[in-house]
A = this chain, B = another copy of it.
Amino acid sequence: MHLFYQPGVDSQFLTEDDSRHAIKTLRLSIGDEIAVTDGHGNRHLAVITVANARRCEFRILATQTTQPRPFSIRICVAPTKNIDRIEWFVEKAVEIGIERISFFFGQHSERRILKLERLEKIAVSAMKQSLQSFLPILDNALPFEKLLTSVGEEQRFIAHLPDHDPPVNVAKKATLGGRYVVLIGPEGDFSEKEIDQAVGADFQMVTLGPNRLRTETAALTACQILNFINT
């Protein structure tokens, strides 16, 4: 069954995009059953009552509520120079499972502008495509220092090779069922100052594997590992 997204709790109609998709593209009509998620864990089985391509209305027949996962993953990443790479990361992270994606501009960031709108659309379609009922939070980019102060998660990691100590994979430091946050630096990596600030804010330095990874690959790998150890 086709899955649509309507964040409005009591709004029994599809967004304009989804209405067009349902009526024009999928040619659904009155009486057809659809699935609608609110992105907050509720998934409705619904029936189309008004087959309008601008405002397709539906009546909810049943609602299935999913509980949030017993762990949460937040990845904070510096936008890449080539925005396609971040778009890929957002799509893939949402598919495999993530609660929150935050962006930041570091001292070595080449990109200083980030538009969330397109990324939010990618997140919504990835949520639908992977049949999930939760839409991850996407946060606007903050300067690195401001980002650090926004972190409430208790299991804090920064993907950075320590100078002295032997590198430890994030899986070895993470304890199961926690609230994780991982910082992934820009192509130019974190500055010394940023590393110190993160360590000062109780972030532990971890690696994500033996190879040198691109920013978006590191971000996705951190997400994969934290998902995997909790499954």
Q: Size band of the A side of the interface?
A: 20 to 34
Residues of B within 8 A of A131 (CB): 211-212
By a CB distance below 8 angstroms, the chain B residues around A95 are 211, 213-214, 217
> What's the least CB distance linking A221 to chain B, in Å?
6
Please determine whether B225 and A169 come into contact, CB atoms closer than 8 angstroms. no
Does A227 interact with chain B (Cβ within 8 Å)?
Answer: yes
A209 within 8 A of B: yes
Complex formed: what's the CA distance from A221 to B169 in Å? 18
**Is there contact, CB below 8 Å, between B169 and A231?**
yes
Asked if A92 is at the interface of the complex by the 8 Å CB criterion, the answer is yes
- Chain B residues lying within 8 Å of A209, measured Cβ to Cβ, are 96-97, 227-228, 231
Interface hub of A88, A129, A169, A211 (most chain B Cβ within 10 A): A211
Q: Which residues in B have their C-beta under 8 angstroms from that of A213?
A: 95-96, 130
Asked if A42 is an interface residue, CB under 8 A from chain B, the answer is no
Mark A113-154 against chain B: 1 for CB-CB distance below 8 A, else 0: 000000000000000011110000000000000000000000
A9 CB to closest chain B CB (Å) equals 24
Is A220 part of the binding interface, using a Cβ–Cβ cutoff of 8 Å?
Answer: yes
The answer, yes or no, to whether A166 is at the interface (CB within 8 Å) is: no
Q: How far is the CA of A143 from the CA of B227 in the complex (A)?
A: 34
A171: Cβ under 8 A from any B Cβ: yes
Q: A224: CB under 8 A from chain B? A: yes
Q: List 16 A-B contacts (CB under 8 A).
A: A92-B220, A95-B213, A95-B214, A95-B217, A96-B209, A97-B209, A129-B212, A130-B211, A130-B214, A132-B211, A169-B231, A209-B227, A209-B228, A210-B231, A220-B220, A224-B225
